[in-house]
Amino acid sequence: MSTSQPSSVPAGAPAADERLAKVSFFKSFLQRPEVGAIVGLIAIILFFAIYANQSMFSLAGFMNFMQPAAQLGILAIAAALLMVGGEFDLSIGSMIAFAGIALGIPLVLWGWPLGLSILFAFGVAIVFGAVNGFIVLRSGLPSFIVTLAFLFILRGLTLVGLKAATGTTQLRGIQEAAGDSWLMQIFSGNAFEGLFTWLASMGLIETFKNGAPKVQGIPVEIIWFVVLAIAASWLLNKTRFGNWIFAAGGDPNAARNVGVPVARVKIILFILTAMAATLVATITVLQFGTADASRGLLKEFHAIIAAVIGGCLLTGGYGSAIGAMIGAVIFGMVQIGITYTNINQDWFQVFMGAILLIAVLLNNWVRRKAMSSR
Amino acid sequence: MSTTNQAILEMVDIEKHFGAVIALAGVSIAVYPGECHCLLGDNGAGKSTFIKTMSGVHKPTKGKMLVSGKEVVFQSPRDAMEAGIATVYQDLAMIPLMSVTRNFWMGREPTIGFGPFKQFDFKTANEVTMTEMAKMGINLREANQAVGTLSGGERQTVAIARAVYFGAKVLILDEPTSALGVRQTSNVLATIDKVRKTGIGVVFITHNVRHALAVGDRFTVLNRGKTLGTALKGEIKADELQDLMAGGRELADLSASLGGTI
A36-77 pLDDT per residue, tens? 888 889 999 999 999 999 899 999 999 999 999 999 999 999
Number of H helices, E strands in chain B: 9, 12
Residue of A251, A253, A366, A371 to mutate for B, most B C-beta atoms under 10 A: A251
Ranking A282-286, B131-135, B143-147, B248-252 by mean pLDDT, the lowest is B248-252
Separation CA A167–CA A170 (nearest Å): 8
- Distance from the first to the final alpha carbon of chain A: 30
Mean pLDDT of chain B: 86
Q: By residue range, what is the domain housing residue B90?
A: 9-97+146-257
Task: Give the Cα-Cα-Cα angle A260, A265, A269 (nearest 5 degrees).
Answer: 160
Q: Which residue of A has its CA nearest to B148?
A: A371
Note whether B131 contacts A31, CB cutoff 8 Å: no
pLDDT of residue A14: 43
| Average pLDDT for A344-349 | 89
pTM above 0.90, yes or no: no
Number of domains observed in the structure of chain B: 1
Assess B75–A contact: CB distance below 8 Å, yes or no. Answer: no
What's the rounded mean pLDDT across residues B115-127? 91
Compare all CA atoms of chain A with the CA of B133 and give the residue at the minimum distance.
A13
- Could you tell me if A115 lies within 8 Å of chain B, comparing CB atoms? no
Q: How many CB pairs under 8 A join A and B?
A: 110
The predicted-structure confidence for B236-262, as pLDDT tens digits, reads as follows 888 788 777 776 555 556 556 665 555
Please check whether residue B188 is in contact with residue B177, taking contact to mean a CB–CB distance below 8 angstroms: yes
Task: Give which of B79, B100, B102, B106 to mutate to test A binding, by max A Cβ within 10 Å.
Answer: B106
Please state, in angstroms and rounded to a whole number, the distance separating the CA atoms of residues A28 and B210: 41
Q: Which helix (H) or strand (E) holds B170?
A: strand B170-174
B45 versus A195: the higher-pLDDT residue is: A195
Alpha carbon B221 to chain centroid, angstroms: 15
Class of A59-184+220-360 per CATH?
mainly alpha
d(Cα A125, Cα A276) in Å, to the nearest integer? 9
ipTM confidence? 0.82
**CB spacing of B134 vs A14 below 8 angstroms:** yes
- Say yes or no for a CB contact (<8 Å) between A238 and B105: no
Smallest CA–CA separation between B222 and chain A, in Å? 27
Instruction: Give A117-184 as a DSSP string.
Output: HHHHHHHHHHHHHHHHHHHHHHH---HHHHHHHHHHHHHHHHHHHHHHHHSSSEE--HHHHH-S-HHH
Return the pLDDT at A256.
85
> pLDDT, tens digit, for every residue of A109-164?
999 999 999 999 999 999 999 999 999 999 999 999 999 999 999 999 999 999 99
Q: Which of B92, B120, B150 sits opposite A240 (nearest CB)?
A: B120
Residue B132 belongs to a domain: no
Query: What pLDDT, on a 0 to 100 scale, did the predictor assign at position A115?
Result: 94
Q: Is the pLDDT of residue A6 over 60?
A: no
pLDDT for res A178:
87
C-beta atoms of A374 and B151 within 8 A: yes
For residues B159-164, average pLDDT: 91
Q: What pLDDT shows up at residue A8? A: 39
Q: Is A355 or A27 the better-scoring residue by pLDDT?
A: A355
pLDDT over 60 at B191, yes or no: yes
The tens digit of pLDDT for each residue in A262-294 reads 999 999 999 999 999 999 999 999 999 999 999
Give the pLDDT confidence of B202-233 residue by residue, as tens digits: 999 988 888 999 999 999 988 888 887 788 88
Q: Tell me what percent of the residues of chain A surpass a pLDDT of 70.
A: 91
Contact assignment for B199 to A3 by CB distance below 8 Å? yes
Residues 6+ apart with CB under 8 A from A253: B91, B93
CB of A98 closer than 8 Å to CB of A154: yes
Given a cut of 50, is residue A1 above it in pLDDT?
A: no
**Mean pLDDT of all residues in A81-88:** 96
CB-based burial label for A294 (10 Å; 0-12, 13-18, 19+) = exposed
Residue A19 confidence (pLDDT) above 60: no
Q: Determine the distance in angstroms separating the CA of B57 from the nearest CA of chain A, rounded to an integer.
A: 11
When comparing pLDDT for A206 and B169, which is higher? B169
| Among B41, B38, B50, B46, residue whose Cα is nearest residue B243 | B41
Of all residues in chain B, the one with the smallest CA distance to A259 is B107
Per-residue pLDDT, A126: 97
Q: What percentage of chain B has pLDDT greater than the value 70?
A: 92
Beta-carbon-side half-sphere exposure of residue B37 (alpha carbons within 13 Å): 27
Residue A365 has pLDDT above 90, yes or no: no
Task: Answer whether A173's CB lies under 8 Å from A203's CB.
Answer: no
User: Residue A25: what pLDDT?
Assistant: 66
Residue B209 belongs to a domain = yes
Residue A352: pLDDT over 90: no
* Contact criterion met (CB below 8 Å) for A208 and A214: yes
pLDDT for the residue A148: 96
Mean residue pLDDT across chain A = 88
B201 found inside a domain = yes
pLDDT score at A106:
95
With pLDDT > 90 as the criterion, what percentage of chain B qualifies?
A: 35
Q: A157 or A198: whose pLDDT is higher?
A: A157
Task: Identify which of A14, A258, A371 has the shortest CB distance to residue B146.
Answer: A371
Rounded Cα gap, residues B255 and B262, in angstroms:
6
A29 min Cα distance to partner chain B (Å): 13
- Contact criterion met (CB below 8 Å) for B202 and B36: yes
B65 pLDDT band (50/70/90 cuts)? Answer: very high
pLDDT tens digits, one per residue of A218-252: 999 999 999 999 999 999 999 999 999 999 999 99
Q: Give the per-residue pLDDT at B1.
A: 44
Residues in chain B, overall count: 262
User: Which CATH number do you get for residue B60?
Assistant: 3.40.50.300
**Using CB atoms, which residue from A9, A12, A246 is nearest to B102?**
A246
- Per cent of chain A over pLDDT 90 is 63
Q: Does A374 touch chain B (CB under 8 A)?
A: yes
Q: Which residues of chain B neighbour A313 with C-beta distances below 8 Å?
A: 97
Local structure of residue B202 (DSSP, 8 states): E
